Structure formats: C-alpha cells, structure tokens
Structure 1
Amino acid sequence: MTQNDDGVNRLIGRINELQRGLAAAHAGRSTESVTETAGGGLVRATVSATGALQDLRISPLLADPSDPETLADTVVAAVQGAQKAVVARYRKRFEGLVDIP
C-alpha cells in the first residue's frame, strides 16, 4: 500500500464518519418541536424543527380588546423565541460536523 492509498483510505474513513454524524444529527428531526413562552407565560408558541408554527396558546388575561398591539407583540415574541431555540438546537447538534456561520 502506498502513502497515497493510505491518505485516500483516511479520507474515505472521515467521509463515512461525517455521514454517520449527519444521520445521527437528523434522526428524529421530523417529530421534534420547541415550545417557548412570552408575556410571563401568557402566550405559548410551539414550532416544528423547521420553524413552522404548530400550536399557539393565548391566555384570556392577555386578550384586551383595547390593546391589540400588546397581544400582537407578545405573540410575535413567543414565536420568534421558539424559532430561535430551534436554530440554536440544531447549531449545537451539528457543531463539529460542519462549519455553520
């Protein structure tokens, strides 16, 4: 076996490791979700692993007809918080496998 063959074999081994790592990182992703709250827990948003909104719960205590802006801001904060949590989860899961900016 030549030195060149040894280098190719190491590269193939590294590629196989990367494939296994990526497969493990993706495992279960389709069924995962993240829930975040805002407004002291008055709004709860659940998003899928892709960031799509799956569920939204709003406490009647926050539903003030004279202040729709607060309700809207709180809903947006809960959804954005859940979406950021999904991104953070997957950045951590893929850390070391690939470079993610």
Structure 2
Amino acid sequence: MTIYFSTAQIKELAPYSLAERRKIIELANNKLQAPEKLAINLLKLLVLIPPFIALARIDSWWLMLPIFALLAGYFLVMRPVSFWFIDKHLAGAIKQFERSRDKTEE
C-alpha cells in the first residue's frame, strides 16, 4: 500500500494539471459510500478534537503546540487516509472527468 501525501504523487493523476486533479478527486470523493464517509469523518473527529480541547484549556504561548499538532495531524493523517479511501474510485472518476471534458470541447 502506497501512502500519498499529495495528488501529484498519484500515478493515475500525473498527466493532469492541479485544477484537473482537484476535480477528479472531488468526483472520486462523491463516489464514496456512506460507511466510508462515516469512517473518514470519525477519523477527522479523532484527529481534530484533542487539539481543540487543548486550545480551550491553554492560556499562554503553549497555545502554539496544539495548533501545530492540529496542522500536522490533518496533513499527515487525513490526506493520506482520504486518498486511500478514494483510490478504488479513482479510475471511474477519471473516466467521468474525461467524458465531461470531451463534452465541453465539442
């Protein structure tokens, strides 16, 4: 299993521009089933709630630690997990994107 931190690392999306990759990722995201979306959202809660609780309890310059934990948790955990979930829907999303792009070119 390959871990992707960016859409540029996904081989299937290499020939596309950043804007096109975002559209394809959005299409693949829309194809996720309800249990998959639930799992992603629960994981987001597990990653985001502890730093926010720490933010509510800290008054000094230590406030920056939960903020960095929040950012690191999101980018180091959530993005790869999201890419892992949409991986199986990526081929269909690319086909759908190509069809819509061909229709707009006509």
Higher relative contact order (CA 8 A, sep 6+): 2
Same fold by TM (over 0.5)?
A: no
More helix by share: 2
State TM-score, norm by structure 1. Answer: 0.33
Q: Which structure: larger Rg?
A: 1
More strand by share: 1
